[in-house]
Amino acid sequence: MQRKVWVVLLLVVVLLTGFSAFARASDTFTVQVQAAGVVYVPPTKAQMWIGAKTDGTTAAETLTNSNAVMQEITSIVQEFTSPELVRTSEFNMYQKERWDDASQQSIPEGFTLRHVFEVQIQDLTKVAPFLDQVTQAGANIIYGLQYGVADFRTPRGEAYRRAMDEAWWKAGLLADGNGATTLVLESVEESYFYGGEFDTAGSGAATELADSFMPGQLQISVNIVAKFRAELPE
């Protein structure tokens, strides 16, 4: 008899615990929102690829011709930027061939050497003069001119803060609309980052500066997904 009483009491405790847990669970719900933070900053660096393609009858002649041109280009590069902002991105020599209709085969016809630098310039007013001078010095490979931010952490950090502010604001509206009084952040993850668009609205102000090549302001955007626990009043 006593054993049955203990069993009944144990069942009552289990049921009460379950009901209590269910009641606590029903007092909360999950709110998940997407939010974005966008910051516009003026570009602080220009990046491009500069070099020369030279030809010669022999490999030695081709290398000599290339060195002569690249020495002039290198001296100009040193006037416009720091050595740590320059690196070789391509150095490629290959044999040229000409198709001979009579023999129906390719015939070697000298060599070609491509020597290209990746160059960063942090004074944007110097971009146009730099391109003019290296072209006059013999640079016949120029491509990939693009603008960026030398120190992206500060504006990116501000974009994160704006994204989190928006996430809390959205979650607060949803929680308040459902009668919740407390919000607790449970998780947040970055869903997307992109720093390569320019705001055309800022291009007018930017082109008033000395460098007419400079585009509008650089857009740095962060997107996040945040999950909150909303608690209902007791």
DSSP lists the bridge partners of residue 183 as 230
Treating both helix axes as pointing N-terminal to C-terminal, what angle do 59-80 and 127-136 enclose, rounded to 10 degrees? 150
pLDDT reported for residue 98: 82
Q: Which two tokens stand for residue 138?
A: 């013999």
| Spatial distance between the Cα atoms of 115 and 92, rounded to a whole number of angstroms | 7
Q: What is the DSSP string of 153-196?
A: HHHHHHHHHHHHHHHHHHHHHHHHHTT--EEEEEEEEEEEEEEE
Q: Which residues sit opposite 150 in a β-bridge? A: none
Residues 38 and 49 in one domain: no
Would you state the pLDDT for residue 137?
A: 97
Kindly state whether residues 144 and 209 are assigned to the same domain.
Answer: no
Average confidence (pLDDT) per 10 residues, the chain, 234 residues? 49 46 66 94 92 96 97 97 95 88 81 97 94 97 92 90 97 93 94 53 45 67 94 88
| Shared-domain flag, residues 76 and 163 | no
The answer to whether residues 113 and 196 belong to one domain is no
Nearest to 226 by CA among 24, 36, 71: 36
**Nearest in space to 192 (alpha carbons), one of 218, 166, 159, 170:** 159
| Alpha carbon distances (Å) from 139 to 70, 71, 72, 91, 123 | 8, 11, 9, 14, 21
Per-residue pLDDT at 8: 44
Domain boundary (87, 116, 148) is at 148
In terms of C-beta density within 10 A (0-12 exposed, 13-18 middle, 19 or more buried), how is residue 121 classed? buried
Tokens of 15: 């049921």
Question: What is the rounded CA–CA span in Å between residue 3 and residue 5?
Answer: 5
Of 91, 125, 118, 99, which is closest to residue 206 (Cα–Cα)? 125
Distance, in Å, from the CA atom of 167 to the CA atom of 170, rounded to the nearest integer, reads 5
CATH, residue 139: 3.30.70.2970
CATH number at residue 187: 3.30.110.170
Q: Domain ends where: 148, 170, 189?
A: 148
* Contact in structure between 149 and 43 (CB atoms under 8 Å): yes
pLDDT confidence of residue 203? 44
The whole-number pLDDT of residue 103 equals: 78
* R_g of the chain computed on alpha carbons: 33
The pLDDT assigned to 1 comes to 55
Count of structural domains, the chain:
2
Q: Which domain holds residue 60?
A: 45-148
Examine the fold and report which residue of 89, 122, 148 is the final residue of a domain before the chain moves on. 148
Distance from C-alpha of 160 to C-alpha of 166, rounded to nearest angstrom: 10
Same domain, 132 and 194: no
Whether the pTM exceeds 0.75: the reply is no
Q: HSE (CB half, 13 Å, CA atoms) of 10?
A: 6
Rounded CA gap, 119 and 46, in Å?
8
